[in-house]
Amino acid sequence: MSWEEVLKKKKAGRATATHNSKGEEKDRCARIADRPSKYGSKGSAYKSGAIVQCRQGKIWRDIK
C-alpha cells in the first residue's frame, strides 16, 4: 500500500461539521459542543464529557 492510499483512507474517515465519521448526522449535544466558543475546534475529554452530560439531560436543556 502506498503512502497516498493511506492518506486517502485517513481522510475518508474524518468527521465533518454536521456528520460524524460514520456519515451519520450529529445530534444536538454534539453540535452544541462543537461550537468554537465552547471547547474549541479540537476534541477533548471536556468536550466528550459535556456531550455525555447533555445526553443525560444534566446540561444545555434549553439551548438549540
pLDDT tens for 27-38 read 899 888 888 887
Q: Quickly state the pLDDT bin for 54 (edges 50, 70, 90).
A: very high
DSSP annotation of 12: H
| Gap between the Cα atoms of 3 and 20, Å rounded | 25
Give the cell for residue 49.
464529557
Residue carrying the nine cell digits 474524518:
14
pLDDT confidence of residue 14: 62
Cβ–Cβ < 8 Å for 60, 29: yes
pLDDT for res 5: 77
At 4-51, the pLDDT tens digits run: 777 676 666 566 666 777 778 888 998 888 888 878 766 788 888 999
Q: How far is the C-alpha of 13 from the C-alpha of 50, rounded, in Å? A: 23
